[in-house]
Structure 1
Amino acid sequence: MKRKYYKTGELSKIYKIGRDSLKYYEKLGLLNPTRDKNTYRMYTIKDICNLSLIKELRSLDFSMQRIKEYLKNRNIETTKKMLKEELSLIEQKLEELLTHKDSINQRLKSINNAIDNTNVNRIELIYINKRKAIARKTNGEFTENVDYLIQRLNENLEENFYILGNSNFGGVFDSKSIDRGVYNNYKSILCFIEDDSVRSNFILDEGYYVTYTYRGDYKQSSRVLPMMYKFIKANNYVVLGDPIEIYKIDIYETDTEDEYVTQVQIPVKLLMDC
């Protein structure tokens, strides 16, 4: 003989859902348990059906209001409409997951490149193509924590970016502070973005850059920048703009400072181009 009623504890155990949630659904009118002679809540097969639907729809982030509308007016037509909405949301989630997968693969590639294909502790002259970025200005009169600035930069983006393994973050030094012998002030923090993106508010022109990559604590600018400017002067290059530093591997990837990888870049014009 089929059972007609189920107790709160049974539903809570079967569906792995708290008693408070069951009471909340009851308050919304989504579940309608009766009471036995001991005033215990007793749920019907219809309540169980509704609870299954609630769990399914909540897993796809349907609002409680939308779920309530559907359960209060459930027929073939509204079910077909709801199923189409579910398919649309699933497609959206699949697209988000594929984007996340691509991002993870790119971040793994970035970490491997930083480890395997980086010349450390050597000044180099390299040609870099134009890069687009989103930048946020900082207060040049004091140094803010770089990681804090990265979080602030997130406010400028339409969607969240992934921090872990993302070597697209950088800081733009304040050249005027450097002239005064202050090497730890930034004009802005930036995040490089795809070439076809229309959200850019900062462009780094293509051309030659004097670069230096080092491991360890990324607060080594007071040592690195004077050395790079000395190299530029010795080779009669012309500085074209503010230095930038790129955080290839930092605190988001490792707690071991010796594993940090930072690259400083200074745009220059060669004597032959003058």
Structure 2
Amino acid sequence: MKDYYKIGEISEMYDMSRDSLIYYEKIGIIKPTRDNNGYRLYSISDIWRLNLIKELKSLGFSFKMIKEYLENRDLDSTNKLLEDGITLLDDQILRLLKQKENMRKRMESIDKTASSPNLNSIELTYLKERKGLILNGEVKRDEDFDLLIQKLQKNYNNKFNILGNNNLGSVFKMNSLEKGITTDYESVFCLLKDNETEYNIIFEEGYYVTLIYSGDYTNNKEHIKNMFDFIEENKLIVAGNPMEIYRIDIHETENKNEFITEIQIPIKC
């Protein structure tokens, strides 16, 4: 067994990049010497340190914790490190359980939406007050919607998810609808839970003419026309801009036949 190893040998031995080894040296958790040509030489002492660093990293310890431990090691500090490790694992387990529950709820949301029995039926529905996050911006293409949703997420520290979220939507431009244009929107939004404390819009409670349809978004032209015909026939008054909520969209499926969209038009009664 050799007394010293070069960086290439250590990199291969630990399946670790040279950049990682240089970073370890930079933060002071290993300290290789140099030969006459300036090449790094790793000693047997560096080997046991790397063994320990590799194991501690796999257990989830930060480089700061690893460095502090390597600079002051005895039985007491080892037991303290392991106690801290248990706390870290407990936190990770709790976080993973929350993620698991979140994924289960997303699956339930997708399944419930996909099996909706009221497709293509125009209804006058009473909806309670809803909190939401909204961002104004012109939307004419799917890419515009996704860009604005990303900005909305960033503005509110990723408060909401996208995959399996059936509460994302857009608000139509009323003047475009009056011209028969159903592809122009003025804002994007995400509806939130009732107990949320951080929001920037409240969609008022009241009556809405609603319709849920399946298939490509281009189908909305016919559906919106039928909804406005329903409003006129029943002598109802539109109270605000219609909105479109994407219950199942491109984020869940590439098959446009599986898309499910809800249109809501607020009504003054």
TM-score, normalised by the number of residues in structure 2: 0.81
Which consecutive residues of structure 2, in runs of 5 or more, have no partner in the other structure? none
Amino acid at match of 1:106: K
Shift of 1:80: 5.0
Matches within 5 A, 1:1-274: 7=5, 12=11, 15-33=14-32, 41-44=41-44, 46-59=45-58, 63-76=62-75, 78-79=77-78, 81-139=80-138, 143-144=140-141, 145-159=144-158, 161-269=160-268, 274=269
Does the C-alpha gap of structure 1 residues 176 and 55 become closer, same or farther in structure 2, counting only changes over 3 Å?
Answer: farther
Whole-Å separation in 2 of the counterparts to 1:79 and 1:136 = 51
Q: How many residues align?
A: 265
Q: Higher mean Cα deviation, 25-34 or 54-63? A: 54-63
Whole-Å separation in 2 of the counterparts to 1:89 and 1:137 = 41
Which consecutive residues of structure 1, in runs of 5 or more, have no partner in the other structure? none
Q: Which runs of 4+ in 1 moved over 6 A?
A: none
Secondary structure at the counterpart of residue 220 of structure 1: helix
Does the C-alpha gap of structure 1 residues 218 and 75 become closer, same or farther in structure 2, counting only changes over 3 Å?
Answer: farther
Shift of 1:108: 0.6
Does the C-alpha gap of structure 1 residues 75 and 4 become closer, same or farther in structure 2, counting only changes over 3 Å?
Answer: farther
TM-score, normalised by the number of residues in structure 1: 0.80
Secondary structure at the counterpart of residue 263 of structure 2: strand
User: Contact (CA 8 Å) 1:175, 1:242: kept in 2 or not?
Assistant: yes
Q: Higher mean Cα deviation, 178-187 or 239-248? A: 178-187
Whole-Å separation in 2 of the counterparts to 1:135 and 1:57 = 44
Q: Percent identity?
A: 42
User: Contact (CA 8 Å) 1:32, 1:43: kept in 2 or not?
Assistant: no
Secondary structure at the counterpart of residue 132 of structure 2: strand
C-alpha RMSD of matched pairs (Å)? 3.2
Amino acid at match of 1:164: L
Shift of 1:196: 0.8
Whole-Å separation in 2 of the counterparts to 1:6 and 1:160 = 51
